[in-house]
A and B are shown apart, each in its own frame.
Chain A
Amino acid sequence: AQKITQTQPGMFVQEKEAVTLDCTYDTSDPSYGLFWYKQPSSGEMIFLIYQGSYDQQNATEGRYSLNFQKARKSANLVISASQLGDSAMYFCAMREGVSSNYKLTFGKGTLLTVNP
């Protein structure tokens, strides 16, 4: 079974609107971390936001927020006030365990296109 599932191969959003990118995960480890990365066409992986499994509050970083629903094992990324520069590939990832030296498992990604 896939550990990280992103069901939206592509999403479109109008500039200045909000968009939600879906991510569900599967793990039996009680300690895990969930990540979202942005990959523009240049290829670099840009860290956006992190949610730990024991974090009580949803993570927020500027225009990015993570809608963490632990019982449903979902960690959706919400981008508010979309900008043209947000057009990129977005990957959800999970690390099982608490150390930054544990490997990440990535979803297949969602290609976001922001229309003017």
Chain B
Amino acid sequence: GAVVSQHPSRVICKSGTSVKIECRSLDFQATTMFWYRQFPKQSLMLMATSNEGSKATYEQGVEKDKFLINHASLTLSTLTVTSAHPEDSSFYICSAGLIGGSPYEQYFGPGTRLTVT
């Protein structure tokens, strides 16, 4: 079945550095990928919708210059957290919609836990 991977699964970085997180659909093509952020004991909050070959659509309150999203192909979207600060420490999860799939199918990656020291 449809599998979405994320890399890395965990990352620790120093304040002020940038971190890139990859989201790949392994066995299907996805025109749209979504990036969520989840703080401890809270819900998933949508950050942005990533469409292949076009600019990402960011949710209100999400800084597009800080969270750079690139959707270069139908199987890969990347999220770069630029100049990371401790408050960016969170669990980042991507999901992908399956082209031509059932209307309810949206597949989640396993998540990336980011810790900024």
Q: Which residue on B lies nearest to A6, using beta carbons?
A: B43
Cβ contacts under 8 Å, B108 to chain A = 37, 44-45, 47
Question: Is B104 a contact of A35 with CB atoms below 8 Å?
Answer: yes
Cβ contacts under 8 Å, B110 to chain A = 42-44
Question: Is A50 a contact of B104 with CB atoms below 8 Å?
Answer: yes
Pick the interface stretch among B12-20, B71-79, B93-101.
Answer: B93-101
**Given A106-B44, A108-B43, CB of A101 within 8 Å of CB of B31:** yes
Question: Is A105 a contact of B46 with CB atoms below 8 Å?
Answer: yes
Question: Is A100 a contact of B98 with CB atoms below 8 Å?
Answer: yes
Cβ contacts under 8 Å, A95 to chain B = 104, 106
Nearest CB on A from B95, distance (A): 8
**Given A100-B98, A100-B104, CB of A43 within 8 Å of CB of B91:** yes
A84 within 8 A of B: no
Interface size class of A (residues with CB under 8 A): 20 to 34
Cβ contacts under 8 Å, A109 to chain B = 42-43
Cβ contacts under 8 Å, A44 to chain B = 108, 110-111
Question: Is A103 a contact of B34 with CB atoms below 8 Å?
Answer: yes
**Given A43-B113, A45-B93, CB of A104 within 8 Å of CB of B43:** no
19 CB < 8 A contacts A-B: A35-B104, A42-B110, A43-B38, A43-B91, A43-B93, A43-B111, A47-B107, A52-B103, A95-B106, A100-B97, A100-B98, A100-B101, A100-B103, A100-B105, A100-B106, A101-B31, A104-B46, A109-B42, A109-B43
Chain A positions within 8 Å of B, measured between CB atoms, are: 33, 35, 37, 42-45, 47, 50, 52, 91, 95, 98-109
> What 7 pairs between A and B have smallest CB-CB spacing?
A101-B97, A101-B32, A50-B104, A45-B108, A100-B97, A43-B111, A106-B43
